[in-house]
Structure 1
Amino acid sequence: MTKKLESDLVENLNEICSINSMFVVVNKYLKKSRNGRYYMNLTLSDRTGRIKAMMFDENAENILESIDVGTVCRVEGNVNEFPRDSKNFNIIINSIVGLSEGDYDLDDFIVASQRDKEELVNEVRKLIKSIESPELKKLLRSFFCDKDFAEKFYTAPAAKFHHHNYIGGLLDHTVEVLKISMTLCELFPELDRDMLCTGVMLHDIGKIHTYKYDLTHIDFSEKGKLLDHIFISSDMVKEKINTLEISEDISDRLLHMILSHHGDVSNGWGSTVDPKTPEAVALHYADNLNARVKDILQNGAKR
């Protein structure tokens, strides 16, 4: 078993150099250059990030078919900066070969939350305990006291690309949006704290069904390809509400928050209705703020 050198980690590939190291294949495409020749276009990753890679070879199509997405490969080539002085680095591959499990240390490739999981879970439990509305507390407990649901929620990623796209990312994102929302409640005491916090906790729960993932790779599930996470989340909440004694007013306000949390329909981000209540507006901006800031923190330096 071979471990990656610290200097070969993606986060350290910030100068022109040769490289012979191991990466996970995140995605792969066959593209055609202006001169009509085919080349491989890939995204590679390790536990520290992702990097674009290309391979120009007359056998590009056959080589591409020989490697699978989600597998670890040994890559030999050169780190290149393009355009010059852009700080945008990629790898020009000379050779790429798939590896067997015993050839590498899996820990070099697992992208997971760096935060203490139990601490975050305690934040969730503390929030549920603080909810004063019997109906909303009952609804939250019906989800988070279900061991199967809770385990999926605590380990799921929040995205395939962009922000929080790692094991435990959904929990990280939810707790972070929760803290932003609690600050909004302090600034605007007129907000319905119980409703806003419940909306935060449930707005993305459909993501436990949107993605399929293992320790090295995240992709859309069959359901995720067909149904947006907003629809799946609202459907899960509606189904649970139908089994509980939840008033129509609370049900409508909560479902409205979930269906509108990506902002105005005209944005084209997946909302089916514009946010119209103070809590829906607060959820949208808290969610968007967290997603945008995290995306830059995760990926900004690599762009």
Structure 2
Amino acid sequence: MSRKTNFLESMKNLSNIKTSFMIMKIIFKDNTKLVCLLSDKTGSIKATFANPKVKLEVGYVVEVDANMDTNLEINSFEVLDEYELSDYLPTLQRDINEVMKEIEDMSSSYILSREAKELNDYFFKDEEFLKKFKQCIGGVSMHHNYIGGLAEHTLNVMYLTTILCDRYDCRHSEIAVLSAKLHDIGKILEFNFNGPFKYSIRGELEGHITIGVQMIDEAVRSKPNFYSEDFINRVKGCIVQHHGKIEYGSPKNANMEESIIVNFADSIDARMNKLYQLKEIFEVNSWSEYDRALETRIYF
């Protein structure tokens, strides 16, 4: 598989380009042309395909020869079957393997009991799960909305959870840290992230909290009579309650020490990630627009 080397941000002064893009949106099509939005990880541009002979769909990656002005006029193109997803979609800036190493280093210090290790390993020693977990986004638009975002968010929530557990002498700190690691696992099935980010049908109907609890139930069924009822109740409770309140999307308000800690850690990281993204846009001593996730304007 060849990697993309020419990105949109470095080609803005060229009149002719030869590179590849992902089709993010079909804007218009009829019998004579197709107008769409093409993107790579550095930006997007409108493009016109004159009378394409091949059917083009959202999510396709196309190698194009095009004239470029404000928009692209496509001279010729080829649909690619093999490509690196991170070349075309917003992607975590860090090496994902470094993030995973930090997650596992923290796990080895806090996840120590037979029950906790077994539940952890059911997911994080499964190669198919790991592949999805490392690619998954943290959200479509609210926070960590890039490839690898889920892993980065999980690491940060685990870290904040360890700080709160240690500072406030949490009685069930192992469950808190394990639950921080597992709290968003349902997102690997809630989102489609192999193309333009969006909710899956299951994500729209059930959401990641419900899906995550179902995944825990599957793990428990794989090891009959192994887990204690209290252990599973607490882990599932943390997942169910990690949004904190019913009005924020949790089926139950947070009502355990460990679930309150996971909720605060989750909320801090989600909000700070959103603020960080805004900080990249707005200058010092300027106001952002009202942000729905932060529920305010931000003064930088």
Q: Which residue of 1 aligns with 2:152?
A: 172
Counterpart Cα distance in 2 of 1:254 and 1:169: 23
**Could you list the per-position Cα deviations for residues 171-191 of structure 1 after superposition, in whole angstroms to 9, with x for gaps in the alignment?**
111111111111112321235
> 1:43: how far off?
6.8
From 78, 90, 93, the equivalent of 1:100 is 78
Amino acid at match of 1:252: N
Q: Which amino acid aligns with 1:68?
A: E
Q: CA deviation at 1:299?
A: 4.9
Q: Which amino acid aligns with 1:192?
A: H
The question of whether the paired residues in 2 share the 8 Å contact of 1:67 and 1:97 is answered with: no
Normalising to structure 1: TM-score of the pair? 0.70
Larger mean Cα displacement after TM superposition, 141-150 or 124-133: 124-133
* 5+ long unaligned stretches in structure 2: 29-33, 282-288, 290-300
Q: Give the AA of the match of 1:253.
A: R
What SS is found at the alignment partner of 2:138? Answer: coil
Relative to structure 1, is the Cα distance of residues 5 and 166 closer, same or farther in structure 2, using a 3 angstrom cutoff? closer
Residue 4 of structure 1 is matched in structure 2 by 7
The reply on whether 1:289 has 2:292 as its aligned counterpart is no
- Normalized against structure 2, the TM-score is what? 0.70
Amino acid at match of 1:224: G
Does structure 1 conserve the Cα–Cα contact (< 8 Å) formed by 2:8 and 2:40?
no
Query: Which residue does the alignment assign to 1:207?
Result: 187
Residue 168 of structure 2 is aligned to residue 188 of structure 1: yes
| Residue number in structure 1 paired with 2:41 | 47
Q: Which amino acid aligns with 1:70?
A: G
Q: Distance in 2 between matches of 1:299 and 1:29?
A: 27
Secondary structure at 1:119 match in 2: helix
Distance in 2, Cα, partners of 1:98 & 1:212? 29
Q: Look up the match of 1:150.
A: 130
**Any idea what the Cα deviations from partners look like across 1:191-224, whole Å, max 9, x if unmatched?**
522011111111111112122332x533333322
Instruction: Report the counterpart of residue 13 of structure 1 in structure 2.
Output: none
Distance 2:273 2:218 in 1: 31
Match of 1:100, SS?
strand
Q: How many residues align?
A: 263
Task: Provide, for residues 40-85 of structure 1, a one-character-per-residue CA deviation record: whole Å limited to 9, x for no partner.
Answer: 998764313x66x889xxxxxx99xx8632246869665xxxxxxx
Write the letter of the residue equivalent to 1:4.
F
Task: Specify the code of the residue in structure 1 equivalent to 2:78.
Answer: S
Contact 2:7 2:40 in 1 (8 A): no
RMSD over aligned CA atoms reads 3.8
Distance 2:75 2:161 in 1: 47
> Which ranges in structure 1 are unaligned for 5 or more consecutive residues?
10-16, 31-39, 56-61, 79-92
Q: 2:231 aligns with which of 250, 258, 262?
A: 250
Is 2:105 the partner of 1:126? yes
Q: Aligned in 2, Cα 1:247/1:25: closer, same or farther, shift over 3 Å? A: same
Q: Could you say if the C-alpha distance between residues 180 and 54 of structure 1 is closer, same or farther in structure 2, counting changes exceeding 3 Å? A: same
